[in-house]
Structures are given as C-alpha cells and as structure tokens.
Structure 1
C-alpha cells in the first residue's frame, strides 16, 4: 500500500534524530582524532625535535596522513597548536611571579610553579628551551615567557636574594633536569618535583639559609641492561 504525503511529517523527526546522531558521532571522532594527533605531536616534538615528519606523526597517532593535514595544513600549525597550552602556562606562571611584591619570593614562586606544571606535563621544559623561529605564534609566546623570566632574575639579583652568577639558562637547565624524574604515579612525580624545586631554590640563593625541605620521595632507580 502506498504511503500518503501526509505521513511524511510523522517520519521526518525520526530521520532528523538519526542524522543528528551521525553528525554528532562524526564530530566526536574528529575531536578524538585531533586530540590524539596533538598528544602524539607534543610528545614526539618534545623528545625528538621538529624534524620528525608529519607522516610519522600520523603513523604514531594511528590516523591517515590526510587526516593530519586536514586538521593542521602545515607542520608549523601543528607545532603551534601542540605547544600553545604549555606556552600559555609558562607565561601565566612567570607573570604571576613578576606581580609579587618581593622579587625573591616571586622568583621562588616561579621555580615552584614551573616545576609543578612540568611534573604534570614533561614537554613544558622542552617547549621553553626549544627554538622554532619560523613559527611566529610559538616563538612570540616563548620569547614573552623568557623575557619575563629574565626580568624576574634581574629583580631577584638586585634585591640580593639571587646569586649573581645565576641566569635564565640555569633555570631552564633545572627544568630539564626535573624532566628526568620517573615515578609510578602522578602524585609521586609531583611530590618529587616539589622537593627538587626546594633544593634548586636553596642552590640559587645568594646567602643560603638552611630551610626545611618537603618530604623525600622514593623513586625507582634506573636498571642498567
């Protein structure tokens, strides 16, 4: 029996509902792919540098090369997106330290803040130390963080809290050393990073005064093959 035209409005809502579910599923898959690509790119660029090809990023993310280029037309676009959050974190921590009334306390606050953030995201120190001048937005944020860090170092020196032979390079070095922390859980890594930050602050101080350290943390020792 043929269906009449008047029956169509009854079925259309069902069609729309199914269509909406398909579109939502596609959008969800696209978001998942994008986040997976960014996670892989972030870890890969931080560990191996910018020379890793886009095809390899796609392989590690288990997506097609076309999918990567659809989301990120160039490697510069991928790099900027991958490290945008890390650079924003660096800038925010440094600017908060600059706003402190006491330069030395502001300096300590930045060391603790950067190391705590890095304990949760190990690519942060690499992002801060890396130099990718061809990526304007990345370089702009990085330079802003480093300029603020240099200003904070100068203020802490002039206030007499920071050793005169300590520079920005030493802070980046400390952050990269912090990257070597290995722990079974995120909580343990954060606790170990907190103690390491306290040790670094003691070594940076112009007139070291023994102060209580955060509790020691048991970490797994590396096993030689």
Structure 2
C-alpha cells in the first residue's frame, strides 16, 4: 500500500496540473489574460493554494499554458522560410498564423505581452518575429511584397484578427481565412484579383440586402 502512494500522489499532481492548464487556456481565450488566478483555480476545480504551488505567478501560468502554441508558431515560420518562393512562404505564414490565433484568442494576448522571466517563451517569440522579418525581406527583394511593409504590420493583422468574434469555431476560422486573404492582398506590391475564400456570414441574414449592403 505504501509503495503505491508516491505514484498516486504524482498522478494526482499531474492531473491537477493539466486541469489547471486546460482551465487557463479556456478562460484566457474568452476573457483575456487579466482573469484572476483564483478564477482559474475555480474553473479547474482546485484550491488556489494548489494552483499557486504549481504556478507561483501569472507569468508562469500563461507561458506554460501557451507553450504548445509557441512551438506551432515556430513550425509555421520555419515552413515559410523553407519555401523556395518567398512570397508564397510569406502568404502561408500569414494564413496559418491567423488561423492559429483564431482557434485560440488567448494566444494572441500572450504573444503581445512581455514576460521578462520566461526566457524560453521570449526566445521563441523573438525567433518567430525575426524569421517573419527575414521572410518579408526576401519577398521584397523578389518584388512581390510592397516596399513599405514593416514587421509591425503583421502584429497589426494578428491584433485585428483576434477581434473577430462569431458564434462557432468553424465560423471563426472561416472568417479568419477571409481576413487573412484581404490582408495578403493589401501587402502585395502589385495586387491581383485572386478569389477570396468563402464568406463567413457575420451579420443576421435579415439585415443584409441581396446587394450585400446593410438595409
């Protein structure tokens, strides 16, 4: 019986940790990063002391909650850099980054925040931003990206993308894809007339006329 106890305790601690992280991701996605730690504990079904024992600071909780998304972000920019066509790679990064953030709005807030003590998280973010900047430089040299583009424009797109609020995850992603296509069109040195992704209905059908104007 005593031999099983340490294993059971470790298992319980692991379960608590995962419940806390799942609750944090869910509440951050809806209410942002300003949610009190006690509310995260309540949503996770654990005592505040248990949460603080695992994550003594909000910074530690946020960076751990979105560690997986940061890895995914790195994968997206690495894939873009590896594309022999820098413009195509740049477009893929914008599209996939917008979709990644549409699926988890809390990640957008985390990416825009500063966590001086979270060295790994900060390093991964800096790597992603430098990689996008390098990809943009290549796309400019290829004559495909407008010369006045700056890295802050990507941040602006992600911030605007996080403001899309619709009733279902599917509609959220659909709207994000269309928004990304519009942004990419604006970034082109010589905009073409490539077709946009399908429209995501954002207004009640009764309020939109057949000509697409609010009436």
Range of TM-score over shorter length: 0.7 to 0.9
1:74 is displaced (CA, Å) by: 4.1
Cα distance in 2 for residues equivalent to 1:118 and 1:52 = 19
Structure 2 unaligned blocks of 5 or more: 205-215
Task: Name 1:105's counterpart in structure 2.
Answer: 88
1:196 equivalent to 2:179? Answer yes
Higher mean alpha-carbon deviation, 193-202 vs 124-133, is at 124-133
Cα distance in 1 for residues equivalent to 2:29 and 2:92 = 28
1:90 equivalent to 2:73? Answer yes
Question: Is 1:87–1:127's contact at 8 Å kept on the other side of the alignment?
Answer: no
Cα distance in 1 for residues equivalent to 2:78 and 2:112 = 18
Q: Call closer, same or farther: CA 1:131–1:121 in 2, change over 3 Å.
A: same
Task: Name 2:133's counterpart in structure 1.
Answer: 150
TM-score computed with the length of structure 1 as normaliser: 0.77
Deviations, residues 58-98 of structure 1 (Å, cap 9, x unaligned):
24534212211232244443233112112111111011100
Q: Call closer, same or farther: CA 1:135–1:196 in 2, change over 3 Å.
A: same
Of residues 141, 164, 179, the one that matches 2:147 is 164
Question: Is 2:63–2:110's contact at 8 Å kept on the other side of the alignment?
Answer: no
1:35 is displaced (CA, Å) by: 2.8
DSSP 3-state at the match of 1:193: helix
Higher mean alpha-carbon deviation, 210-219 vs 180-189, is at 180-189
Cα distance in 2 for residues equivalent to 1:40 and 1:197 = 29
1:53 is displaced (CA, Å) by: 5.4
RMSD: 2.7
Cα distance in 2 for residues equivalent to 1:83 and 1:30 = 20
Of residues 4, 7, 18, the one that matches 1:35 is 18
1:123 equivalent to 2:106? Answer yes
Task: Name 2:166's counterpart in structure 1.
Answer: 183
Cα distance in 2 for residues equivalent to 1:104 and 1:124 = 26
TM-score computed with the length of structure 2 as normaliser: 0.81
Q: Call closer, same or farther: CA 1:91–1:47 in 2, change over 3 Å.
A: farther
Question: Is 1:111–1:201's contact at 8 Å kept on the other side of the alignment?
Answer: yes
Aligned length: 201
DSSP 3-state at the match of 2:66: helix
Question: Is 1:46–1:126's contact at 8 Å kept on the other side of the alignment?
Answer: no
Of residues 69, 89, 95, the one that matches 2:52 is 69
Q: Call closer, same or farther: CA 1:76–1:181 in 2, change over 3 Å.
A: closer
Q: Call closer, same or farther: CA 1:155–1:47 in 2, change over 3 Å.
A: farther
Task: Name 1:78's counterpart in structure 2.
Answer: 61
